[in-house]
Amino acid sequence: MNNVIFRSASAGDALAVAKLAILAGGGIFEFLLEDFVKDISLENLLALEVKKERGNLSYIHTEVAELNGKIIGVIKSSAPQEPSLVKEIKDSLHPDKIDWLKDLFLNLTDERIYNNSFSVGLSVDVDFQNQGIGTELIARVKNKAQNNNISRLNLTVWADNLTAIEFYKNQGFEEVKHINIAFHPLMPHHEGIKLMQCLMDS
């Protein structure tokens, strides 16, 4: 797609970035934040996080693909020491939610996996998938990692999202762990989450 512009995100992209992040989450944001969206929409709540200059969802760590003024793809890449939205709200979560996702929380803080790595999150508008957008966004993050002497990229993907898993394998990612998550109506997935990793060339 010759007219697509790939660039660093700005604070003004926050709402569009938030919407694509929710799409990629497959229900995880809905599950985690349902008690926080009484007076604000989920999109606007996440947009507030994207607008910040620090944090896992910050626009500072985000690259976007733009076509005719519309954000059609997003990739975020942040180091583990960046405070995450999950960590920030964990103390406010109902104990049942923490217990539901305990395996995920444990694995997201495993230094053996996340040391000297970027955590990556990718989302492409469904109308623009299979057109090279995701490939180019991942290439940009790989370049960023190499420039910062980062040794690996990590991402999580729902285990039943076979199309995404195959795509990530084609980008050099391999499964390193399976994380069990029980089915919940807000997270309509039955097979848990795969943690995948791409080792950077030295």
Q: What is the pLDDT of residues 103-129, one digit of tens each?
A: 887 777 666 677 788 889 999 999 999
Share of the chain above pLDDT 70, in %: 91
Average pLDDT on 81-98 reads 68
The C-alpha atoms of residue 27 and residue 36 are separated, in whole angstroms, by 15
Q: How is residue 135 written in tokens?
A: 């490939």
User: What is the pLDDT at residue 89?
Assistant: 62
DSSP 3-state of 55: coil
For 171, phi and psi rounded to 5 degrees? Answer: -95, 5
Q: How is residue 130 written in tokens?
A: 């299979």
pLDDT in tens, 123-180: 999 999 999 999 999 999 999 999 989 999 999 999 999 999 999 999 999 999 999 9
Write down all domains in the chain, each with its CATH number in brackets.
5-199 (3.40.630.30)
Question: Is the pTM above the cut of 0.75?
Answer: yes
User: What is the pLDDT at residue 107?
Assistant: 78
Average pLDDT on 24-51 reads 92
